[in-house]
Amino acid sequence: MRKKLKEKKNPFSFRFSTTTWVVLLAVFYGSTFQVKATSFTYADTWQQQDQAIEISGTITDDQGLPLPGVNIMEQGTSNGTMTDFDGNYTLSVSSENAVLVYSSLGFESREIVVGTQREIDFEMVASVADLDEVVVVGYGATTKRDVTGAVATISEEEFNQGAITNPLQQISGKAPGVNISQQGSEPGSSPSVRIRGITSLIGGNDPLVVVDGVQGNMDLLNQIPPNEIKSIDILKDASATAVYGSRGAPGVIIVTTKSNKAGTSTFEYSSTASLDVLSNKLDVLNADQWWEQAQRYGVPVSANHGSQTDWYDILTQTGYTQNHTLSFGAGSENFSYRGSVSAILQDGVVINSNNEKYIARLSATQKALDDRLAITMNLNTGILQTSNSIQSIGNAAFTSNLITNSYFMRPTDPVFDTDGSYYTDPNVFEYLNPYAVAQTTVDERENNNLFVSLDADLEVYEGLTVGWFGSWRKTNNTIGFFLPVESTDANAINQDGFANINNSHQDEKLTNVSLTYKNTFGDHKLEALALYEWQQQTYQGNYAQARGFFNNETTYNALQGGDLSDVRTGDISSYKNDRSLVSFLGRLNYTLFNKYLLTLSYRRDGSSVFGENNKWGNFPAASLGWRIDQEDFMQEGIFNQLKLRGGFGITGNQQGLFPQQSLSLVSPGGITYFGGEEIRNFQISQNSNEDLKWERKKQTNIGIDFSLFESRLSGSIDAFTATTDDLLFNYTVPQPPFPYNTIAANVGSIRNRGLEFALSYEVIRTENLSFTMAGNLSLLDNEVLKLSGSINGVDLNTNYIPWGENSFLIEGEAIGTYSILQHEGINNVGTEVVQDINGDGTIDQGTRSPDRVQQGSALPTYNFAINPTVKYKNFDFSMLWRGSGGNKIYNGLRKNMSMMESIGNQNVLQSAVNLDLYTSPYASNLWLEDGDFVRLENVTAGYNLALEDSKYIKSLRLSITGNNLWLITDYSGVDPELNFNGASGFGGDFGIYPRTTSVALGLQVKFK
């Protein structure tokens, strides 16, 4: 019984091995495998009318393949049908004057007068300008033609390919102003995304994520299968995001997943497998070099343990990433469904780091009540299991991740002691053997998540729809950690080994009710929305820790096996809090003469996390569009499309506000000795602020969309300015009069101004060959306008706030501006000398010191991507070059590995030998470097095969993708693409998990 309990019970615990691959491939061509496509008949759907004329036909795409799901309507009536799986259709029309409208997403609509025809077959032409492309704008959708805000839409066809583990990797480099970067390639880690720069200091810069109407934080993106995404829409400017009110300021990422259209049937399998190798590492001294240098600095022979160990090498390996998705679905007139199961399996390049992710999805749509009611339900559930390489370990002198620790190891130290145990040097204070840590530590994370939504739309009157949407989302996280004595970690040794479990649980509920009215009166087109929304999130968790275990067998799974007489402060804790948000939203879209577009929206939000005096906030927005190409004077010309649009809006950001933050609270603070006994100590843990509220961002955007030369050249240009006021910050306040030395308050403002260009040019367009150059560039100018202000009547003269090693928040400068001492040289005893700028004879290290000089910022000022694509017959080839720069990096790791004072107990960089610096009491610009880089991020070559003759297989795609193939940079560290999230300490290099170069093979099979 016990044994059975121990077995992993995992519904998706199949692993795809090479054998499975072979079997699956064999099956494609074999005859034992049968996939039954459901056939649908519509014969009874529409009653025949008097003197009916029956029209039938077959619709194909431009490659001659049958096109299912094409919508065919008799103009001016509700009579219509859809092509079936083989592109066939039959429709009865009332007369020969009837006009049939054929439409399908991604193709130009076509109108055909029936006349004498009884059989109408033709090829649909792929729509070039994609003007009918659906753009999801939040609480609704419009078309690219009608959109007035700055919205980037990236659809499935444009996604980056390769061994994708997170949806964001698919859209990296695809949209200007949307900067997606990943620091290192740690399995399970997610990239960070910043939309139009850093607009908040501590308030959070992560965009809101909306997946089929379910709202959440960035972790929601990690819970959906990348392969099942149809399109991702990114709302960039305030006129677009204002409908999300107090959550809209950092931008919104809207994900639409795939669903099956009526008349289609799907059974697909896609897979990628990639080998990941380390791309770059630091050059440290080898054993002989180290000893030669150590002797120069009088290191005693007792520090040389005579081995030749490559610590970096033994801690790393070749990684392996696989991604498998099996999806199926079908659709009829009244019902459609789609299901999928995905598995993403990763073994990291650092030993014992891996990640497994399994996701199942099911969505179903049902129509009822004479097609007036449409109900859609989505269910998404997943398990994410990660074994981490430790993020932060070390001793008093240096703490970093495990792999960075390996650089510091003396190459003369052995890995194992003579008795077979992990080697430690008793003469080195808190000696850490990183190999022992990697092999003995247990750091396991599991995330179980589920979200469900139900969307019901009822047309109550012509043009008037009542909608109801409800969702809930449950997330359970468990982190188990065990650090045994054998790890050699000082903390573990002191506690005789310790283990802890951290459980957290999150419930998010959301519901909204809406009324939508859509109508056209002659030249006036109107769409109005009124919506009420309620959401509540509850967070709960507990933590327990024990130490001194009898042995290491149970790791963190039996805390009761620890020494229960040794319970310490912080060993047991639990928490619970919640937040709620109530909102009212109104929106009006108005189009005149199909040329002039107007959108107005207004949202009012009330939240429990706002201070008592500021419970409700208002977020209005307005935008205008002018479709110049529709004007008469534009009919003759080179432009296929030309649209001018502009908008203004106010949005909020409340991510940085946590429950209970506006209250003055007392919490337990350890044990103290008082009254002859050890008693619990309590302390005030925060100041109250009844004025606490959302950050307010005002943004103006002007943009132009164009396509010309038969739509061969297309693109858009956007200019914006966004100012965040009421900037949230943990201000340092004098303890008199405040009982706690920081207070979260809304003071100060930041401005971002930017220009965004997206351009695509079809250099070659022939029947067999096409070559498209696409690219985008965004320029960003960031400035901290104001930090000072007044809190509760106390004036704050806040400026020069340290925001990283030598970087600051300075009024009038960009976030993370370096103000740094200037390296002058090294004196005769090997100590660094810096310039005494003001010549007063002393070096002032104060934050406002006149000896400091401003020297750039940690924030990149430009980002770009170049994306050439070639298609030749069935082959396709694409590249993605991506770069950023204009920033400086403080290379703290290089500093830590360049001081010869430490050579006795650590290794140093090769470059330290020539530098010959013994010690430095300063952190100077000697360690400041340019952060510009260009990376060849993705190269994909693919071959598509349509198997018309095969009984079971519709089409096949084989591809090969190389990732991170070439990095061009002057930066001396491992990788200049660091954490650019804008939070305190961003843009500095203190050691990262390495970035990999990978080669991935991909297979995609569509079955019949």
User: What residues from 887 to 916 belong to the interface with other proteins (CB under 8 A)?
Assistant: 901-906
Instruction: Give the chain's end-to-end CA distance (angstroms, integer).
Output: 45
Which of the 8 DSSP states describes residue 822? P
Q: Is 421 in the site for other proteins (CB under 8 A)?
A: no
Using the rule CB under 8 A, which residue among 101, 582, 779, 826 binds other proteins?
Answer: 582
Using the rule CB under 8 A, which residue among 127, 552, 721, 831 binds other proteins?
Answer: 831
Q: Is 574 in the site for other proteins (CB under 8 A)?
A: yes
Q: Report phi then psi at 124, rounded to 5.
A: -75, 140
Query: According to CB under 8 A, which residues from 920 to 959 bind other proteins?
Result: 921
Owner of token pair 């009244």:
334
Which residue, 511 or 772, has its beta carbon nearer to other proteins?
Answer: 511
Binding segment (CB under 8 A) for other proteins, from list 38-46, 167-175, 320-328, 737-745:
737-745
Q: Is 671 in the site for other proteins (CB under 8 A)?
A: yes
Q: Is 827 in the site for other proteins (CB under 8 A)?
A: no
Q: Is 606 in the site for other proteins (CB under 8 A)?
A: yes
Q: Is 736 in the site for other proteins (CB under 8 A)?
A: yes
Per-residue x/- mask for other proteins, residues 459 to 478, rule CB under 8 A?
A: -xx----x------------
Residues in binding contact with other proteins, number by CB under 8 A = 98
| Strand extents, DSSP E, 634-735 | 639-653, 665-674, 677-686, 695-708, 713-725, 728-732
Using the rule CB under 8 A, which residue among 58, 381, 503, 580 binds other proteins?
Answer: 580
Q: Which residues of 696-711 are buried (b: 16+ CB within 10 A; e: fewer)?
A: bbbbbbbbbbbbbeeb
Q: Report phi then psi at 150, rounded to 5.
A: -90, 100
Using the rule CB under 8 A, which residue among 298, 420, 522, 841 binds other proteins?
Answer: 298
- State the Rg of the chain over Cα: 31
| Strand extents, DSSP E, 608-638 | 616-627
Using the rule CB under 8 A, which residue among 608, 721, 855, 950 binds other proteins?
Answer: 608
Residues in the chain: 1008
Using the rule CB under 8 A, which residue among 490, 624, 708, 915 binds other proteins?
Answer: 490
102/124 Cα distance (integer angstroms): 9
- Give the DSSP H/E element, type plus range, for residue 413: none
Q: Is 675 in the site for other proteins (CB under 8 A)?
A: yes
Owner of token pair 């960031």:
782
- Min separation Cβ 652 and other proteins, Å: 14
Binding segment (CB under 8 A) for other proteins, from list 153-161, 278-286, 554-562, 842-850:
842-850
Query: According to CB under 8 A, which residues from 494 to 523 bind other proteins?
Result: 494-495, 511, 513
Which residue, 400 or 641, has its beta carbon nearer to other proteins?
Answer: 400
For CA atoms 28, 32, 33, 36, give the dihedral sign. Answer: positive
Question: Reduced to 3 states, what is the DSSP secondary structure of residue 242?
Answer: helix
Using the rule CB under 8 A, which residue among 112, 624, 665, 1001 binds other proteins?
Answer: 665
Q: Is 664 in the site for other proteins (CB under 8 A)?
A: yes
Q: Is 524 in the site for other proteins (CB under 8 A)?
A: no
Query: According to CB under 8 A, which residues from 682 to 721 bind other proteins?
Result: 682-685, 688
Q: Report phi then psi at 434, rounded to 5.
A: -65, -30
Which residues contact residue 203 at a Cβ distance below 8 angstroms, ignoring those fewer than 6 apart?
653, 654, 655, 656, 657, 695, 724, 727, 728
Q: Is 845 in the site for other proteins (CB under 8 A)?
A: yes
Which residue, 444 or 578, has its beta carbon nearer to other proteins?
Answer: 578
Q: Is 423 in the site for other proteins (CB under 8 A)?
A: no
Question: Reduced to 3 states, what is the DSSP secondary structure of residue 56?
Answer: strand
CB atoms within 10 A of CB 484: 21
The tokens for 249 are 């300021």
Which residue, 1 or 396, has its beta carbon nearer to other proteins?
Answer: 396
Q: Is 732 in the site for other proteins (CB under 8 A)?
A: yes
Judge contact between 852 and 817, C-beta under 8 A.
no
Which residue, 532 or 875, has its beta carbon nearer to other proteins?
Answer: 532
Which residue, 33 or 532, has its beta carbon nearer to other proteins?
Answer: 532
Q: Is 429 in the site for other proteins (CB under 8 A)?
A: yes
Binding segment (CB under 8 A) for other proteins, from list 192-200, 245-253, 749-757, 790-798:
790-798
Query: According to CB under 8 A, which residues from 64 to 103 bind other proteins?
Result: none
Which of the 8 DSSP states describes residue 921? S
Query: According to CB under 8 A, which residues from 527 to 556 bind other proteins?
Result: 532, 534, 536
What is the widest separation between alpha-carbon atoms in the chain?
Answer: 107
- Min separation Cβ 582 and other proteins, Å: 5
Binding segment (CB under 8 A) for other proteins, from list 337-345, 642-650, 681-689, 858-866:
681-689
Binding segment (CB under 8 A) for other proteins, from list 666-674, 776-784, 857-865, 888-896:
666-674
CA distance to 109, 568, 634, per residue, from 641 (Å): 17, 69, 10
891/928 Cα distance (integer angstroms): 6
Using the rule CB under 8 A, which residue among 76, 420, 426, 841 binds other proteins?
Answer: 426
267/590 Cα distance (integer angstroms): 41
β-pairing verdict for 214-216 and 99-103: unpaired
- Give the DSSP H/E element, type plus range, for residue 22: helix 18-29
Using the rule CB under 8 A, which residue among 5, 32, 673, 839 binds other proteins?
Answer: 673
Which residues contact residue 643 at a Cβ distance below 8 angstroms, ignoring those fewer than 6 apart?
625, 626, 627, 628, 629, 704, 705, 706
Q: Is 35 in the site for other proteins (CB under 8 A)?
A: no
Q: Is 663 in the site for other proteins (CB under 8 A)?
A: yes
Q: Is 678 in the site for other proteins (CB under 8 A)?
A: yes
899/293 Cα distance (integer angstroms): 12
Using the rule CB under 8 A, which residue among 126, 397, 769, 945 binds other proteins?
Answer: 397
- Min separation Cβ 915 and other proteins, Å: 16
The tokens for 202 are 């501590």
183/862 Cα distance (integer angstroms): 18
Judge contact between 997 and 963, C-beta under 8 A.
yes
Which residue, 902 or 997, has its beta carbon nearer to other proteins?
Answer: 902
Which residue, 66 or 904, has its beta carbon nearer to other proteins?
Answer: 904
Using the rule CB under 8 A, which residue among 115, 300, 812, 825 binds other proteins?
Answer: 300
933/886 Cα distance (integer angstroms): 9
Binding segment (CB under 8 A) for other proteins, from list 9-17, 296-304, 315-323, 755-763:
296-304
Which residue, 489 or 929, has its beta carbon nearer to other proteins?
Answer: 489
900/902 Cα distance (integer angstroms): 5
The tokens for 990 are 């203190």
Q: Is 768 in the site for other proteins (CB under 8 A)?
A: no
Binding segment (CB under 8 A) for other proteins, from list 65-73, 632-640, 733-741, 972-980:
733-741
Q: Is 387 in the site for other proteins (CB under 8 A)?
A: no
| Strand extents, DSSP E, 484-593 | 498-521, 524-547, 572-592
Q: Is 572 in the site for other proteins (CB under 8 A)?
A: no
Give me the half-sphere count of Cα atoms (radius 13 Å) on the Cβ side of residue 898. Answer: 21
Judge contact between 689 and 744, C-beta under 8 A.
yes
Q: Is 742 in the site for other proteins (CB under 8 A)?
A: no
703/701 Cα distance (integer angstroms): 7
* Nearest in space to 1004 (alpha carbons), one of 963, 952, 943, 949: 943
Which residue, 42 or 584, has its beta carbon nearer to other proteins?
Answer: 584
Phi-psi region of 490 (alpha: psi -120 to 50; beta: other; left: phi over 0): alpha
Q: Is 227 in the site for other proteins (CB under 8 A)?
A: no
Which of the 8 DSSP states describes residue 125? P
Binding segment (CB under 8 A) for other proteins, from list 339-347, 828-836, 884-892, 949-957:
828-836
Query: According to CB under 8 A, which residues from 430 to 459 bind other proteins?
Result: 430
- Min separation Cβ 80 and other proteins, Å: 24
